[in-house]
Structure 1
């Protein structure tokens, strides 16, 4: 199979950084549950539908979608990380979800069966393509005429303290890493709704809608536990890796993040505001 996004496949499938998403799967799924709920609600899945799940990760989205479409429906769940797919398959088996096929695939180039799917969904799985227009053109071919896609991406950095505050804490401790193009493949690549809308138009999609949705990411645990997760995955982790941070640096960063997140803590949990970009589009009839 042709892989256009080799760097992303290497990161998510083989690097220690990507492997952390397996280690902290439960915490991350719980934290991101409101985003998945948002995608599924807007997608309007119904029994019997055939769904394409892009960037399915360790399976939370595919299993939820499979439950919504029922045994008459089907979910094709694609990802570039085989370890993620192996874990997702095991979780689906444990959940009794037999109407899912997990596929190792680069959605930019994979030969999906044409006009086979009623809808495409993705929770944070489509911001990493080397050629976004080519990727969405390819995914659109998998949709039936009139088929829809619904996907969530991170909005602008100022509205997302989950990214901004840990990055500030790590940079103040270790230094500022080299700046990168925020539109380059990565978690924040779809922060600009107008730019992404233009890319979807170039990919041949219509009825494009882009909404900014404010919600809360709920971490069930202490401030320090939440801060520890922030230093293991996400921007703080990347800064620590870049500067080869020592254990004492990690501890200092965790305490700084906990202090920054203090206003979000209540009743034994941390409620972090988030600005999510929700996109919807349709393959023309």
Structure 2
């Protein structure tokens, strides 16, 4: 597959870190369910719509969208990871979701059928492109005139203890890894709403909005379960990998995370605040 994002294809498609997202699929889908609901509600999908789902991963977003558009609609789920899509197809088959198709593709350069889709959605799938303007323009070409693009990205690190607490715990234990450009492709690349809306405008989109939405994430289980997940994925995992941390290091970081998230425990579990940037725009008529 030709791609403009070879590093991302390698990471999500072949690396041990990418495989972890398959291992923790159920937990990830649960904790990010409020984000997916936000995207789908704002996208206002309805029966018969044809929708493009970018960065569909193992299929949770595509299948949820398929239920909203019904059998007369169609969802095309796109991802850069073949192993994720293999799992997505299994899930679709188990649900007998005949209105869903999955495609291995880099959405930045994929020659989508022009003006075929009523809408584009994404839950955390658009922050990894090497050329954001080119990616937005290419995805817009797949939409019909007036078609709406709706996607969620992580907001500022300070508003997202899901990232901040594991990062602090891992760095305190092992040290700070080399600094990277905060706008470089990665989970937090779209933290700056004004920057992202500017990129969307440069790509030719119109009626552009960006809003920081406050949500609560409810991971499966208690503090220890949440700390385990946070330590195996995200910034803590990257710090551990960079410094070649031991199992002892991982356990110490996990313990520190579990202690730090205690304030977010309520009677029925952990409820972590999150700041999610919700973006929408339309292809010009």
Q: Secondary structure at the match of 1:129?
A: coil
Partner of 1:234: 234
Partner of 1:96: 96
> Is the CA contact 1:27–1:219 (under 8 Å) kept in the aligned structure 2?
yes
How far apart in 2 are the matches of 1:52 and 1:123?
12
Partner of 1:25: 25
Question: Is 1:217 aligned to 2:246, yes or no?
Answer: no
Q: Deviations over 1:6-61 (max 9, x none)?
A: 00000000000000000000000000000000000000000000000000000000
- Aligned-pair distance for 1:220? 2.5
Q: Deviations over 1:209-252 (max 9, x none)?
A: 10110000001212111100011100000000110111111111
> Is the CA contact 1:220–1:268 (under 8 Å) kept in the aligned structure 2?
no
Q: CA RMSD in A?
A: 0.6
Q: Secondary structure at the match of 1:48?
A: coil
Partner of 2:115: 115
Partner of 2:262: 262
Question: Is 1:73 aligned to 2:86, yes or no?
Answer: no
Partner of 2:251: 251
How far apart in 1 are the matches of 2:176 and 2:269?
30
* Structure 2 unaligned spans of 5+: none
How far apart in 2 are the matches of 1:71 and 1:160?
37
Partner of 2:282: 282
Partner of 1:42: 42
- Aligned-pair distance for 1:269? 1.4
- Aligned-pair distance for 1:267? 2.4
- Aligned-pair distance for 1:2? 2.1
> Is the CA contact 1:221–1:268 (under 8 Å) kept in the aligned structure 2?
no
Partner of 1:14: 14
Aligned ranges 1:193-212 → 2 under 5 Å: 193-212=193-212
- Aligned-pair distance for 1:268? 4.5
- Aligned-pair distance for 1:265? 1.1
Q: Secondary structure at the match of 1:145?
A: strand
How far apart in 2 are the matches of 1:219 and 1:2?
36
Q: Secondary structure at the match of 1:101?
A: strand
How far apart in 2 are the matches of 1:132 and 1:207?
18
> Is the CA contact 1:182–1:189 (under 8 Å) kept in the aligned structure 2?
yes
Partner of 1:179: 179
Q: Which runs of 4+ in 1 moved over 3 A?
A: none
- Aligned-pair distance for 1:143? 0.3
* Structure 1 unaligned spans of 5+: none
How far apart in 2 are the matches of 1:113 and 1:74?
14
Under a length normalisation based on structure 1, what TM-score does the superposition of the two structures give? Answer: 0.99
Question: Is 1:150 aligned to 2:155, yes or no?
Answer: no
Under a length normalisation based on structure 2, what TM-score does the superposition of the two structures give? Answer: 0.99
Partner of 2:87: 87
Partner of 2:51: 51
Q: Secondary structure at the match of 1:220?
A: coil
